[in-house]
Structure 1
Amino acid sequence: MVTAAAALLVAGTLAGHHLLPDRYGLGSFVESFLPWLGVPVLLLLLVALLRRSLVALAGVLVAALTWTVMFGAGLLPKKRASAYDLRVVSQNMLDGNPDPTGTARALKRANADVIAVQELTSATYRAAARQFDESYPYHERWGTLAVWSRYPIAGEAQPVDIGIGWVRAFRVPLSTPEGRVELYNVHLASLKVGAEGFESGQRDRTLRRLARAIAGDRSRHLVVVGDLNTAATDRSFRLLAEQLTPAHEAGGHGFGFTWPAAFPMTRIDHILVRGLTVSRASVLPSTGSDHRAVAADLTLG
C-alpha cells in the first residue's frame, strides 16, 4: 500500500503541479525539474516488481501513464526540414568564464547567422569580439548583452525595460535576405535561494514585463532568445508560450535541458518565435560556460 500511495502521490504531483502553492517558490522549483519525477516512478516500479504486488503495480502504472502523456511525445523524433533562412544561437557566457575565447570559438563553429550572448563582462566581451567580428560584421551591445549578426541591423536597437534597474533585455531589428526580423536578447532575473526557501517574485516580475513588451510589438517576424531563468514546465512560462512558439517544442528532440552544463537538469535557456517556422532546434555541447547554448534553424513565414 505504501508503494501504491507513493506512486499516486507522484502521479498527482505530475498532473496537478499547477495547483501546488508557490509559497517559498515551491511551485516553480518543482516545475523546473518536473520531468525528473520519472526517476521515482522507475524506482517504485522496481519495488513493486520485487514485492510482486498488484496494488503497487497498479499505482505505478497510473504514475507511468501520467508521465508518458506529459513528456513522452517530446522524446519521439520529429520530422525536420533541412532548409532554413536564419540560424540563431544563444549562449549565457558566464561572467566568470575561465576560457571565454574557447566558448566563443565553439559558438562560431555552430555556423549561425546570429549569435546572441548574455552575462558578458568587459573581458568576455573582448574575447568574443575577437572571434566574431570578422565573420559577423554587424553587432550591438547593451550592458551584459550582445548580438553579432551576418546580416545588417535595420534600425536602432532599443532597451526593453524589465524592471531590474539596468539593461537586461534589448531588441534589435535585423535585415535578412528573406525579410526583417525583430530579435530580443534577454536575461531575466533568476530564482533566489534565501532563508525562507526559493524566491521567484523578481523573476516573475521581469517575465511579466517582457510578456507585455512582446504583446505590444506588432512585428511580423519576431524572435526572443536568452537566459530566461524559467523552465518550459514552470507555470510562469505560459506568459510567453501563449504568444510565442518555443523552438524546442516545435523542432527539437528530447528534453533540451541546458543547465547546469556539466549535467543539465532543466531548460532555462530558450529560443521562441512568432511568424517564423522552426525547421530544427537543438542544444549544443558544452562550450565552457555553466549553461549549454541553444540553436534554432528558422524559416520566415
Structure 2
Amino acid sequence: MTRVDTAERARGGRAPERGTDTRGTPRPRLHRSIRSLRGSGPWKRGLVSAALALALGLLMLLHGRITDRGGIGSLVETFLPWFGLGVPVLLCVALWRRSASATIALVLPVAAWLSLFGGLLGDRAQSGGDLTLVSHNVAAENTDPVGTARALIGSGADVLALEEISEGARGTYEKELARAYPHHTVQGTVGLWSKLPLSRTRPVDTEQDVGPLGDSKPASAKLVDNRALRTTVATDQGPLAVYVAHLGSVRVTSDGGFGTATRDRNARALTRALAAERNERVVLLGDLNGTVDDRALDGLTAQLHSAHDEAGSGFGFSWPAKFPVARIDQILVRGVEAKRAWVMPETGSDHLPVGTAISW
C-alpha cells in the first residue's frame, strides 16, 4: 500500500478513498454483502431451502391445527401423503447448493411423514378370514352397470355394498346380482347384497343437523334422497351390524373455497348413529368423501378403525379410478379383525371397489 500511495502521489493523484475502487468509483455495501453470502460456508448456504424443509415438517406434524375455514384443513388432510414429495425436491436443491443446513433440516419432514404413513409402506395382510366384504361407488353416470355387476360378483364377496345407485340402473343391479346374492336391500341411493340373511334393515338419516359437540337440532328437510342404511347380517358367528353410507360430495366452490358442509353434516349424523349402535360387531362400508386423516371423519375413526390401515398393502388409493390420489372409499370395522384388505380394478365407475376379509 505504501508503494501504491507513493506512486499515486508521484503522479499528482490521490490515494483511493475507503469504500471505492482504484478508479474512485464507490463500491456498494449491499453488493459486498451479497458476495459475502455467496461465498459463505455450507452451514450458511441454502437457508431458504432449510426454512422450507422445516415448514414442510411442521405442516405435516401440526396439520390438525390448520384452520378449516373454507375447508382448507380438509383439503390439506385429504392429500397429506403427497406432501412427502416435497422431500426429494428439497433434497435435490440442498445438494445442488451444497448446503449442510438445508440437508439436516430435511430430517424433520422425513420423520413427520414416516410417523404418519410409514406403517402403510409394507404389506400388512394376514391369512384367513371368515367373511369377505366389498364396497363400491358404482357412479350414477356409469354406462356399463351390467359389466360392473359381473365384475363385483367375480370378487367372491359374501357381502356387497353399492353407493350412488341411480334410479335407472337399480333394476339392472338387482337383476344381475340376484343369483349370487339372494338377500338384498336398497334404501335410496345405497344398497346391500348378501349371501347371508338380512334383518332389522332401516335407512339412516344423515341429514339431521348434529353440531360438532353432539347437540342435535331438527332437520330442516325431510329424508328424500337417502344416502345411508343399517342392517344386520346373520353369520355363523352371530349378528354383524353393517352400515352403508355415501356422504355428501366435497367440491371446489365458486369463491375458491373447498365445500365440505354437506359431507361434514352427514358425518356427524352417522357418528351419532354408530354411537347408539348396541351390536359389538360393526362394519361401515361406503364412499365417505374423505380420508381417515380428514378431521371431518374423526367421530367415525374414534369408534371404528380402517381395515386397509390394519391389513392392506400400500396406501390403497381408490379415487379417481384413472389415476387414484386418495382413499375416500372406506371399510371401517369394530369388534372384528381385518385379515386382508385390497383395491380392485376399474369397473366403469370413477371409483375403484375396495374389499376386506374379516375374522371374529
Which interval holds the TM-score relative to the shorter structure?
over 0.9
Question: Which one of 131, 134, 147 corresponds to residue 192 of structure 2?
Answer: 147
Deviation per residue, 1:142-172 (Å, 9 max, x gap): 111111100011x231111111743110101
- Secondary structure at the residue paired with 1:156? strand
**Residue matched to 2:327:** 267
TM-score using structure 2 length: 0.80
Contact 1:85 1:178 in 2 (8 A): no
2-side partners of 1:73 and 1:52: how far apart? 32
Is 2:126–2:311's contact at 8 Å kept on the other side of the alignment?
no
Say which is worse superposed, 235-244 or 23-32, in terms of deviation.
235-244
User: Post-superposition, which runs of at least 4 consecutive aligned residues in structure 1 deviate over 3 A?
Assistant: none
The letter for the 2-side match of 1:20 is: I
Mapping 1:56-135, distance limit 5 Å = 56-78=102-124, 80-135=125-180
Given candidates 57, 66, 70, the residue that maps to 1:24 is 70
Kindly indicate whether structure 1 or structure 2 has the higher relative contact order, using CA contacts under 8 Å at least 6 residues apart: 1
Amino acid at match of 2:84: G
Partner SS for 2:319: coil
- Cα contact 1:114–1:147 (8 A) shared by 2: yes
Q: CA RMSD in A?
A: 1.3
- Residue 296 of structure 1 and its aligned partner are, at CA, apart by 0.6
Separation in 2, partners of 1:229, 1:220: 26
- 8 Å CA contact retained: 2:123, 2:311: no
Q: Is the 8 A contact 1:99 1:288 kept in 2?
A: yes
Other structure's SS at 1:233 match: coil
Match of 1:183 among 203, 228, 242: 242
Which of 182, 201, 205 aligns to 1:157? It is 201
Inter-partner Cα distance in structure 2 for 1:172 and 1:124: 22
TM-score (norm 1): 0.96
1:108–1:132 Cα contact (<8 Å) kept: yes
Query: Residue 194 of structure 1 corresponds to which residue in structure 2?
Result: 253
1:209-240: CA deviation from partner (whole Å, max 9, x where unpaired):
10010000111211110001111111122211
TM-aligned CA deviation for residue 264 of structure 1: 0.7
1:200 CA drift (Å): 1.5
**Aligned 8 A contact 1:181 1:223 in 2:** yes
Post-superposition Cα deviations, 1:85-121, rounded to whole Å, max 9, x if no partner, equal 1100000000000211111121111100011000011
The answer on 1:295 being equivalent to 2:355 is yes
Q: Is residue 281 of structure 2 the alignment partner of residue 221 of structure 1?
A: yes
Of 270, 292, 312 in structure 2, the residue corresponding to residue 252 of structure 1 is: 312
Q: For residue 344 of structure 2, what is the aligned residue in structure 1?
A: 284
| Residue type at the aligned position of 1:181 | L
Measured after TM superposition, the shift of residue 266 of structure 1 is: 0.8
Map Cα deviations across residues 52-102 of structure 1 (whole Å, 9 max, x no partner). Answer: 111111122221121112111111222x33221110000000000021111
Classify the secondary structure of the residue corresponding to 1:230: coil
Structure 1 spans left out of the alignment, 5+ residues: none
Amino acid at match of 2:196: Y
The secondary structure found in structure 1 opposite 2:106 is helix
> May I ask how many residue pairs the two structures share in their alignment?
298
Equivalent residues in 2 for 1:224-235, closer than 5 Å: 224-235=284-295
Distance 1:69 1:109 in 2: 37
> Helix, strand or coil: the match of 2:49?
helix
Question: Helix, strand or coil: the match of 2:332?
Answer: strand
Instruction: Output the amino acid matched with 1:85.
Output: D
Give ranges in structure 2 of 5+ residues lacking alignment.
1-46, 209-222
SS at match of 2:298: helix
CA distance in 2, matches of 1:38, 1:103: 34
Task: Give the percent of matched residue pairs that are identical in Structure 1 and Structure 2.
Answer: 42
Taking the aligned partners of 2:148 and 2:84, their CA distance within structure 1 comes to 33
Shift in Å, 1:126:
2.4
Give the counterpart letter for 1:279 in structure 2.
K
Q: What is the alpha-carbon distance in structure 2 between the residues aligned to residue 201 and residue 282 of structure 1?
A: 30
Alignment partners' CA distance in 1, 2:190 and 2:82: 31
Residues 118-141 of structure 1: CA deviation (Å, up to 9, x unaligned): 001133222222321101000101
Task: Name the residue aligned to 2:21.
Answer: none
